[in-house]
Amino acid sequence: MTHPEGRSRDFGPPDDPWAVLRGSTRARVALGRAGDGLPTARWLEFRAAHAAARDAVHTALDGDLVRTALTAAGVPLDVLEVRSRAPDRGTYLQRPDLGRQPAEGTELPAGRYDLALVLADGLSPRAVHEHAAGTVAAVLERLPGWSVAPIVLAHQARVALGDPVGQALGAAVVVVAVGERPGLSSADSLGLYLTSGPRPGRADSERNCISNVRPPHGLAYVQAADTLAALLQAARRLGASGVVLKDEGAALPPGGG
């Protein structure tokens, strides 16, 4: 049995029959017991994983960090920053509707672009810090000749914030790279959502998603970029995205759900 993310836990001595169970799944099996509860070491391992996930949700998106990473990755585009109507993390978590709308007074320079890229904190700003620049660089490499709008960094943002942002920028297609809800063993997973003809009111069925961009455990930047570039070409050809693109047979990565 192989399991892509491996396990960091102690597998026990080699003659431990429980090791057979442990080695066969990423699930936390055969942890042992202290009385009826978890042994201290296993309990604290769990706490550490939960703490990483919680911190990933509540870390603030650091614009300077992302700009530096983009520059280091050789991305030549300007970077703008916007905020949603959710003023803080608590409101953001309870009011997804506010996270889909730009804050009052948001102004973006209108142009005519083939593509706009929005880097949204979503539920894991850490995913944007760690994986956005690498992903963007790999995507741009695969799109020679495309006119691309300034990159927009979006704070307290949901995927659908890309709709008004892409529309304001005058982009034919918007790709939102968003921090996904952290799991216990995956606090830094980036999702890519492609929407053709962005405007407020687009349904989720009109988007295509590539999930779990998170090397080395999840999807690599080049893999994600290959798939996204293929989807972008198809979206440009059809002037649409979502279910209709999937029907076109554009390859989606395995295990991307």
Partner 1 sequence: MNRRTTLAGHTYEFPALSDLLAKATPARSGDVLAGVAAESEAQRVAAQLVLADVPLATFLDEQVVGYDEDDVTRLILDGHDPAAFAPVSALTVGEFRDWLLARAAEGDEAAISGLARGLTPEMVAATSKLMRTADLVAVGRRTRVVTGLRSTLGLPGRLASRLQPNHPTDDAIGVTASILDGLLHGCGDAVIGINPATDSPTRTVALLELVDAVISRYEIPTQSCVLAHVTTTLRALEAGAPVDLVFQSVSGTQAGNRGFGVTLDLLAEARAGALELGRGTVGEHVTYFETGQGSALSADAHRGVDGRAVDQQTLECRAYGVARAFDPLLVNTVVGFIGPEYLYDGKQVIRAGLEDHVCGKLLGLPMGVDVCYTNHTDVDGDDTDTLVLLLGAAGCGFVIAVPGSDDVMLHYQSLSFQDVLTARQVLGLRPAPEFETWLGRMELLDDAGRVRDLAPDTPAAKALLAAALP
Going by the DSSP 8-state scheme, the letter that residue 123 receives in this structure is T
Q: Which of 108, 152, 148, 122 is nearest to 228 (CA)?
A: 148
**Contact of 238 with 172, CB cutoff 8 Å:** no
Q: Apex CA 151: angle with CA 97 and CA 174, to 5°? A: 55
In 100-208, where does DSSP find H-type helix? 125-141, 162-169
Nearer to partner 1, 142 or 181 (CB): 181
CB atoms within 10 A of CB 29: 11
Candidates 53-61, 65-73, 109-117, 239-247: pick the segment binding partner 1 (CB under 8 A): 53-61
Among 6, 10, 11, 24, binds partner 1 (CB under 8 A): 24
61-90 footprint of partner 1 as x/- string (CB under 8 A): ------------------------------
Q: Sheet containing 190-196: which strands, arranged edge to edge?
A: 79-83, 151-155, 113-120, 171-179, 190-196, 207-213
116-155 footprint of partner 1 as x/- string (CB under 8 A): -------x--------------------------------
Among 6, 109, 111, 183, binds partner 1 (CB under 8 A): 183
Contacts to partner 1 by CB under 8 A: 1, 3, 16-18, 20-22, 24-33, 35-38, 42, 46-47, 49-50, 53-54, 56-57, 93-97, 123, 181-187, 255, 257
